[in-house]
Each structure stands twice: as C-alpha cells, then as structure tokens.
C-alpha cells in the first residue's frame, strides 16, 4: 500500500513538473490537521448533533441569530486559535516556487492566507469580516469574535445595533458570481487541477472537476475518502494532505547549499 502511494505521488509529481498553470481546490480536509473538524469525515463529531440547515441558513440567521452564534461557537473556539499546517504551507510553496496560479478554497478559516498564499479565492466567504444585513456596514471580525468567545457578547453593528453576520456564505445564500466566474476562468485555463481535502459534495464547487476535464486539464485528487470525481481523475491519492501535499511541493523548493 505504502509502495502504491509512493508510485501515485511520483505520477502526480510528474504532472505538476509539466504544469504551467496549476490550480488548487481545497476543502475542510486541509484544515482538519489544524484541529478544525470537517463536515463529512466519519468521526467529525462536532457537527453530528446539529443540522447545519436548521441553524446555518440565511433564513435561520435572520430569524434566530443567537442560535446561529451558539452553533458557530465551537468552530470559533477552535478556529480563532488554529494555525496553518504543512498542507497549507505546501500549497503556499507551490504558489511561491512552483506553477500554482490560483487557490480556490471552500474554507472560511483564513488558514491559507495565514500560511502566506496570495491568490486565494474564498468561494464560501471568510471569517475576516462581519456584515450588517440591515444597514450594510462591514467591520473587522477578529475583535468581535474574540469578545464573543471570551464573554458571550453577540457582535452588533455599531451604527444600527443589528446582529452582525460573518461574511461566510450560509445555506440559502447566493455565492459571489464574480468569485465563481474567476474560479471557473482559472480552472478552464489550468493545465492541472489539484483537489485536496474535499468530499466534492457541495454545489457548485463540485462541478469544477468536470469543467477542468472538459477543457483538457489533468486532475489530481488527494483525499482520505472517495469522491464523486475520482472516476474522472488522472491520479487519486488516498492519503493525508499533511503527508501528500508536502511530498508534491518538495521538488519545487529552492535548493540550498
């Protein structure tokens, strides 16, 4: 098995070496090694007891914002203290020293940016800012979220006192068409799409692998569990992102004497 994996990593490595325009697509699985649970791993106990649709939809936020913040609390407690792991660092290095042009992420945890990746499309939004749905004011999230985690103070708009919503895309909320267009353009102009840590069950991001194939891009998938796109991938590596991605990025590191 270990031999098989090494063989697959070498095949993926050859695709990356030949790539001019690599695009990466990441999901919650790149942040589980930083301690943030994903939604769909079998042992992801954090979310098992709550139906995200019931509390993390736009309608639910409007009706019961306090229940939404209760649901968000565990993610904030872990997420505010989380640090990038070797998978984030490998993707940063593939951009800095290798062919990676665009990193599309479904994650809201900011860890790619913290690791130093620059061209990141946060397609499901982010926890960097909060927005007031009543008056449109936007503010920096960190002080409010720390205050909430430490003392339970729900973030409120300084202008109109409405409860502020993190700038994450909730169920029932539209994704930014602008970001989606940029993601689609990046994928269609890529020669390799590297997917890591995503179940590929969330629409419309889960259409990107097929778009890549239609436009002639090669596909590498690194994930612990099978995904619906495995059947169209050139290389599927069933492994931990913290082992596989650094191995893929290693050959792009600058040589030191």
- Active site residue ranges: 124
Binding positions for ligand NAD, 213-252, rule CB under 6 A: 223-225, 240-241
Give the interface segment with ligand NAD, choosing from 2-10, 89-97, 106-114, 246-254 (CB under 6 A). 106-114
Nearer to ligand NAD, 34 or 102 (CB): 34
Within 8 A by CB and 6+ apart from 95, the residues are 101, 103, 117, 118, 119
Using rule CB under 6 A, residue 36 touches ligand NAD: yes
Residues pairing with 57 in the sheet: 171
Is residue 85 a contact residue for ligand NAD (CB under 6 A)? no
* Cis peptide leading into residue 204 (ω within 30°): yes
Q: Does 27 bind ligand NAD (CB under 6 A)?
A: yes
Asked if residue 197 lies in contact with residue 26, where contact means CB atoms within 8 angstroms, the answer is yes
Binder of ligand NAD out of 9, 15, 23, 32 (CB under 6 A):
32
The total of other beta-carbon atoms located within 10 Å of residue 4's CB is: 10
> Which DSSP symbol is given to 209?
H
Is residue 137 a contact partner of residue 131, using CB atoms and an 8 Å limit? yes
Residue selected from 78, 80, 162, 202 as contacting ligand NAD according to rule CB under 6 A: 202
Q: Could you tell me which stretch among 29-37, 92-100, 155-163, 171-179 binds ligand NAD (CB under 6 A)? A: 29-37
**Interface residue with ligand NAD, options 88, 124, 144, 218 (CB under 6 A):** 124
SS3 132: strand
**Tokens representing residue 1 in the block:** 């098995």
Q: In what order do the strands lie in the sheet with 125-132?
A: 138-140, 125-132, 164-168
Residues lying near ligand NAD in the complex (CB under 6 A) are found at 27-29, 31-33, 36, 38-41, 106-109, 124, 197-199, 201-202, 223-225, 240-241
């Amino acid at each position: 098995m270990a031999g098989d994996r090494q063989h697959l990593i070498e095949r993926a490595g050859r695709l990356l070496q030949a790539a001019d325009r690599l695009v990466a697509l990441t999901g919650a699985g790149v942040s589980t090694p930083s301690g943030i649970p994903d939604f769909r791993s079998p042992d992801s106990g954090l979310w098992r007891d709550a139906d995200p649709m019931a509390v993390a939809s736009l309608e639910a936020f409007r009706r019961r914002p306090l229940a939404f913040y209760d649901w968000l609390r565990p993610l904030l407690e872990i997420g505010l203290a989380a640090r990038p792991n070797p998978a984030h660092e490998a993707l940063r290095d593939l951009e800095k020293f290798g062919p990676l042009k665009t990193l599309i992420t479904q994650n809201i945890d900011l860890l790619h940016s913290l690791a130093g990746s620059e061209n990141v499309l946060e397609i499901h939004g982010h926890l960097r800012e909060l927005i007031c749905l009543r008056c449109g004011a936007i503010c920096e999230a960190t002080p409010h979220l720390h205050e909430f985690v430490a003392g339970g103070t729900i973030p409120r708009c300084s202008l109109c006192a409405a409860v502020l919503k993190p700038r994450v895309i909730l169920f029932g909320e539209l994704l930014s068409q602008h970001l989606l267009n940029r993601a689609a353009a990046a994928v269609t102009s890529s020669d390799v799409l590297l997917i890591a840590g995503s179940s590929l069950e969330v629409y419309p991001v889960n259409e990107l692998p097929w778009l890549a194939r239609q436009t002639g891009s090669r596909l590498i998938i690194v994930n612990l569990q099978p995904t619906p796109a495995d059947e169209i991938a050139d290389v599927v590596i069933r492994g931990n992102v913290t082992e596989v991605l650094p191995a893929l990025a290693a050959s792009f590191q600058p040589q030191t004497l």
